[in-house]
């Protein structure tokens, strides 16, 4: 099992959920209206008058075989609209109940 943390521009909200649905991933936790700035060349998303956009984030725990299809779909979206921004991080899940 793996955990995937996805941080993305609020404009992607429905599309990110659709990516999870496309691999039949039902469960996730979502945070809305979070602030941040990309570490490479990202535009700040601070929700203020100067930088009004914000980010959302999703954390989902998936079987190993779903990780690559999800990452591939996210990468394609990011490459199509790089100014919006998507980042995904994958962690091992050692146990859960």
Greater pLDDT, 42 or 57:
57
Q: Which structural domains are found in the chain, ordered by start?
A: 2-92 (3.30.70.120)
- Tell me how far apart the alpha carbons of residues 63 and 78 are, in angstroms, rounded to a whole number: 23
Binned at pLDDT 50, 70 and 90, residue 36 comes out as confident
Residue 73 reports pLDDT greater than 70: yes
At residue 74, the pLDDT reads 97
The better pLDDT of the pair 94, 35 is held by 94
Model-level pTM?
0.88
Taking the C-alpha atoms of residue 33 and residue 15, their distance in angstroms, rounded to an integer, is: 16
The contacts of residue 52 (CB under 8 Å, 6+ apart) are 46
């Amino acid at each position: 099992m793996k955990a995937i943390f996805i941080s993305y521009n609020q404009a992607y909200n429905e599309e990110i959920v659709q990516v999870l649905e496309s691999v039949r991933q039902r469960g996730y936790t979502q945070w809305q209206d979070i602030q941040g700035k990309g570490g490479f060349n990202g535009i700040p998303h601070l929700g203020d008058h100067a930088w009004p956009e914000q980010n959302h984030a999703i954390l989902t725990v998936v079987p190993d075989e779903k990780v690559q299809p999800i990452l591939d779909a996210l990468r394609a979206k990011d490459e199509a609209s790089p100014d919006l921004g998507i980042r995904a991080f994958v962690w091992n899940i050692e146990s859960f109940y």
